[in-house]
Amino acid sequence: MGYCKVFQCDTFRSLPYQKQMVNKLHFSADSLHQPVPGAAGMPGAFPGLTIPVDIPPFHFQTRRVSVDWRCFSAIDVERVAREVDVAALQEHITGVTFCDLDGERCPHCGQPVDPILLKVLRMAQLSIEYLLHCQERLGTSLATHARRLQAAHAELAYTQQQVAEQEVQLRGVKEENRRWKKLIAMQQLLLQAGPHTYCKCYLCDKAFMNDSFLQAHIQRRHAEVTKAGEHWDNFSLHFPRQVFPHWM
């Protein structure tokens, strides 16, 4: 049986650069389910980092889409590569990846496609399908981690607010603690000095630990008497003692 020679050339037999790039891609569908170093339960793991275990296994889909030769013949591949037309790739990626090449014949001579070329195209289809699967999984994982990051930012902001409030409360507690320490130290000094060291108010029965407290008490509780005393002092300065000897 003869095969179409249109797609047969030495380019497919000697591609050193492409071969090197393919040799670097040593990954498989099982690598998505293998344990990752530093995962939960392993040394070097980050706190709270968990690896999802409910990822469904990957399976290749059956090719059922027929090849649209007219649509593919209208594509300018050189222009797509030159202009990096990603939109054109997105438009035709489903037709390229999931088209059924079995039984296709060359539209020029009607001969079956070369089996080696057909195998290359099938491998390209499987590679694209697997990469699409990886892209979908990475997009899902990225969205999940974005939600977790947003929740972590919200929790961090709440924690920072709590820390700020506790710092304010701590400063108040420290200030109150200093006041109580001074008060206790003063009371200890008074207890050591004896009961006659209290400053007694001459207008009432109250006593205070020092003169400053006593003066504050007199100004607060006996303001009228204090004003009257000041008025009498001013009056006595203007009138000598001989004028009112019986008042003195």
Q: Please spell the DSSP secondary structure of 58-122, one letter per residue.
A: P-PPPP-BPP-HHHHHT--HHHHHHHT-HHHHHHHHHHHHHB--TT-B-TTT-PBPPHHHHHHHH
162/217 same-domain check: no
Give the residue-averaged pLDDT of 114-128.
86
pTM (2 d.p.): 0.44
3-state secondary structure of 208: strand
The angle at the Cα of 187, spanning 182 to 191, to the nearest 5 degrees, equals: 150
Please tell me the predicted confidence (pLDDT) of residue 111. 76
Per-residue pLDDT reduced to its tens digit, 30-66: 444 444 443 343 334 344 444 455 566 778 888 777 7
232 and 148 inside one domain: no
Residue 93 lies in a domain: no
Residues 189 and 215 reside in one and the same domain: no
Do 16 and 136 have their domain in common? yes
Q: Domain check: are 108 and 183 in the same one?
A: yes
Residue range of the domain that includes 165: 1-23+49-63+101-194
Position 43 in a domain:
no
| 171 within a domain of the structure (yes/no) | yes
Say whether both 19 and 125 belong to one domain: yes
The pLDDT of residue 101 is 78
Count: domains in the chain: 2
Same domain? 1 vs 120: yes
* Within a domain: 72: no
